Chain A
């Protein structure tokens, strides 16, 4: 599986300006420092995995990317422009980013099809027919066309998460953010979600993925960032992180997960 990876040397997409830049990002919850000066860049077409122990700040950074959390210091630049603090402007930026949540967060009172169509209808003002057509195409893409009329309660966890991915794609985002997308899933449905994500990566989608799936990170990511206590311990291509980590903390973390190359 070499598809999405650029082999020797150059980081994927690094020839053009980065899509997302985290510049000395700081986030506090009361006295607790959740993010302590994060400097990371996401390049176009790149799959970046954020790994590290629970509570180390990975999800917080992801939520700062689309302004679900406000910053206490530093900047997040999207296409070179700082995230606006004004709610109305922030909405415009959010439309460029799709987000997939750990608990799916599908809208339970809407069918799978309407879950996917509601973004284009409400936010883009698309006609219902056109939006449903787009939604159907996306459900086909995630392999759930046959379940279009099911409500979320009638879908398995893996199916719900695939609908959630289609819902995010319906807004035609530039970047997809995944917040532990397989952590709430039964082991047998994790694969179907990871496969959809892998296909997206192969199509060149820029993705930031918070995950505990080290195999996925190893095989699909182009860049891996290791977090601990709100700081970046180490970042680099997966070969470095998983085979020859520079930081002691990275080695510890991976060995605790039972990772041995």
Chain B
């Protein structure tokens, strides 16, 4: 077999740019999906039936669809149906946010529910409103419990961003696959792609391990 690894080096700028876009997509998605997840969880746990139902169906809808379908839907159907048109990058970001917000909502809901009922009662008994109690007492405790789960979500998301390559967002997967189809250097490019993803993903996974140890719940 005749291998030519120079194709990787020759395209280093594009690959680097793609990798940066992958990181940017991950960061932006989490920046939206963490607050959105908290809001959805609080809606779900609120006394308002309408808010709870809205949150419930949002979560069940996006959690049970394949992400790639949501990406395609946002790209092809959303402009027609809702007359909203974004760049490919923004469209991909929207799809990722919808999916990850739904997951984060469940993570936060479980975290909040894991806090003993007596904590809410103790807060209410000193005269706090339910909202104050959530903000001051429940969410800060839940936060420590969900952090390890959020960290795992982060690592999954980092890899799942590759799915937006199907709508030609120029992140790492898309760039690498483009170079592959232009240069016909399939083995080299797929290998390079794997190596780059792994080298970026491994430290993040290790960080997750550290976070999980650091924030172990002690009571």
Residues in A lying within 8 Å of B, measured CB to CB: 66, 68, 87-88, 91-92, 94-95, 97-99, 101, 103, 105-109, 118-119, 122-123, 153, 164, 167-168, 170-171
Of the candidates A68, A95, A106, A164, which one forms a contact with B121 in the assembled complex, judged by CB atoms under 8 Å apart? A68
Do B140 and A123 touch across chains, with their CB atoms under 8 A apart? no
B137 — nearest CB in chain A belongs to which residue?
A107
Q: By the criterion of a CB under 8 Å from any partner CB, how many residues of chain B are at the interface?
A: 21
Given contact pairs A108-B219, A118-B136, A122-B136, A68 touches B125 in the complex (Cβ within 8 A): yes
Chain B 114-145 near chain A by CB (<8 Å), digits 1 or 0:
00101101111111111010001100110010
Question: Is B214 on the interface with A (CB-CB < 8 A)?
Answer: no
Do A119 and B127 touch across chains, with their CB atoms under 8 A apart? yes
Do B116 and A105 touch across chains, with their CB atoms under 8 A apart? yes
Do A94 and B141 touch across chains, with their CB atoms under 8 A apart? no
Of the candidates B119, B121, B125, which one forms a contact with A107 in the assembled complex, judged by CB atoms under 8 Å apart? B119
Do A123 and B126 touch across chains, with their CB atoms under 8 A apart? yes
Given contact pairs A101-B121, A153-B218, A153-B219, A109 touches B127 in the complex (Cβ within 8 A): no
A171 — nearest CB in chain B belongs to which residue?
B126
| B136 partner residues in chain A, CB cutoff 8 A | 118, 122
| B137 partner residues in chain A, CB cutoff 8 A | 107
Given contact pairs A109-B140, A122-B136, A153-B218, A99 touches B129 in the complex (Cβ within 8 A): no
| B132 partner residues in chain A, CB cutoff 8 A | 122-123
Q: From DSSP, what is the main secondary structure of chain B's interface residues?
A: helix
A118 to B140, CA, bound (A): 14
A-B contact count (CB 8 A): 66
Do A103 and B118 touch across chains, with their CB atoms under 8 A apart? yes
Do A101 and B140 touch across chains, with their CB atoms under 8 A apart? no
A151 — nearest CB in chain B belongs to which residue?
B218
Closest chain-A Cβ to B143's Cβ sits at a distance in Å of 9
Q: By CB atoms of chain B within 10 A, which of A94, A99, A105, A106 has the most?
A: A105
| A108 partner residues in chain B, CB cutoff 8 A | 141, 219
Of the candidates B118, B124, B130, B140, which one forms a contact with A94 in the assembled complex, judged by CB atoms under 8 Å apart? B124
Do B122 and A105 touch across chains, with their CB atoms under 8 A apart? yes
B144 — nearest CB in chain A belongs to which residue?
A109
Do A122 and B128 touch across chains, with their CB atoms under 8 A apart? yes
Do B118 and A99 touch across chains, with their CB atoms under 8 A apart? no
B125 — nearest CB in chain A belongs to which residue?
A99
The 10 closest A-B pairs by CB, nearest first: A105-B122, A95-B127, A119-B126, A99-B125, A123-B127, A105-B118, A94-B127, A109-B140, A122-B132, A109-B141
Do A107 and B124 touch across chains, with their CB atoms under 8 A apart? no
Given contact pairs A107-B137, A118-B136, A122-B136, A171 touches B127 in the complex (Cβ within 8 A): yes
Q: By CB atoms of chain A within 10 A, which of B124, B141, B144 has the most?
A: B124
A118 to B130, CA, bound (A): 15
A119 to B122, CA, bound (A): 10
| A101 partner residues in chain B, CB cutoff 8 A | 118, 121-122
| A171 partner residues in chain B, CB cutoff 8 A | 126-127
A122 to B128, CA, bound (A): 7
Jot down 14 A-B pairs with beta carbons below 8 A, ordered by A: A66-B125, A87-B129, A87-B130, A91-B128, A94-B127, A95-B127, A97-B125, A98-B125, A101-B121, A106-B122, A122-B132, A123-B132, A170-B126, A171-B127
